[in-house]
Amino acid sequence: MMEYKGYIAKIEFDDEDDVFHGEVINLRDVITFQGETVDELRQAFQESVEDYLAFCDERGEQPEKPYSGKFSVRIDPELHRKITIQARIANMSLNRWISKTLETTIAG
């Protein structure tokens, strides 16, 4: 992976074409790039992000931010009840309890 200005790219290598392909993965908008060397790939990534930001500016639009910190999840009502109980037992809001649980899961 590569990161530039908060945008994170996933990199793959195409053995047949002998080229690296990258795609920004933390947006709904599509930003892709490619290069034959790591330096070329890094430069293409940064240029693609800059082009995206310039394009948004030209259109008078705000560029999509890499994650707002909010997301919706649909879960079974019984699971919702159980995690609400666990959050209350821990004296936490449901959001805080879920956040801590996810942090623990990712760190572990």
Q: For residue 103, give every residue at least 6 positions away whose Cβ sits within 8 Å of its Cβ, in sequence order, or none.
A: none
Domain extent for 49: 2-58
Q: How far apart, in whole angstroms, are the C-alpha atoms of residue 22 and residue 24?
A: 7
Q: Is the pLDDT of residue 63 over 80?
A: yes
Average pLDDT over residues 20-33: 94
- pTM score above 0.75: no
Does residue 47 sit in the same domain as residue 14? yes
Domain assignment present for residue 31? The answer is yes
Tens digits of per-residue pLDDT, 69-92?
778 889 999 999 999 999 999 999
State what percent of residues in the chain have pLDDT above 70.
100
Q: Give, for 44, the enclosing helix (H) or strand (E).
A: helix 38-58
State what percent of residues in the chain have pLDDT above 90.
83
Domain assignment present for residue 64? The answer is no
Q: How many domains does the chain have?
A: 2
